[in-house]
Amino acid sequence: MKSIIAPPHDDDGILSLSVAYLSGPMDFAADGGVTWRKRIIRECYDKNIMLQFLDPTNKNNGLSVYDELSYSKKCREEGRWKDLTDHVHEFRREDLRCVDYADFIIAYIDTNVHMCGSYDEIINAEREHKPILAIINGGKKKAPTWLFDIINWEEMFDTTIQCVEHLGKINTGKMKTDKRWVLLRKHLHYIATTSERKQNGTN
């Protein structure tokens, strides 16, 4: 199961308490998809964007992403197709459940690396009418043509820094959000804390 990465502290930003799922290639990525995910989490926190992250390379089962990729490779080499199927069924279900749980997704797309599950996640996010921010290796010109009807071209970025800057504008209210941005967690947190204060007789 994935661990949710909590911010170092809360703040008053619009995106505070929101959850972002980090989608991108792992199976055929040289680093297992770890580097860009760590980078964008760090850059968000450096810019005081206190999101929660669901990172599929960060497990709470004691196994690293490299352990899981190694297991899949071993199943292929030994022809253990039932074991491989069961393994994929488990983590695909978890990954798509993470998409369901997230308020929006950030996807890393590199056309030099074969992707499969990431497109599955992107399509599911689109069906759920969730915002999809995409970091494209090589920029928009390298984006697969099909994605231009799935991802807003204004939400395609060349680098993680550009994506973080965009999130920063949303977080501070400098950029208005559209109806895809349904940020319930902060509202629910406000209701819960208000109710608690009333029960304690404080304002």
Choose which CATH entry (3.40.50.300, 3.30.1050.10, 3.40.50.620, 3.40.50.450) describes domain 2-200.
Answer: 3.40.50.450
Residue 203: predicted pLDDT: 57
Cα–Cα distance list, 11 to 14, 16, 48, 183 (Å): 9, 6, 8, 15
Residue 194: predicted pLDDT: 59
Residue 195: predicted pLDDT: 56
Of 97, 98, 101, 104, nearest to 178 by C-alpha is: 104
Give the model confidence (pLDDT) of 37-49 as tens digits: 999 999 999 999 9
Instruction: Quote the pTM value.
Output: 0.87
Cα–Cα distance list, 146 to 4, 52, 111, 130 (Å): 31, 29, 13, 18
Name the token pair of 187: 């509202």
Residue 178: predicted pLDDT: 94
How far apart are the C-alpha atoms of 109 and 117, rounded to whole Å?
12
DSSP state of 140: G
Q: Which residues of the chain have pLDDT under 50?
A: none
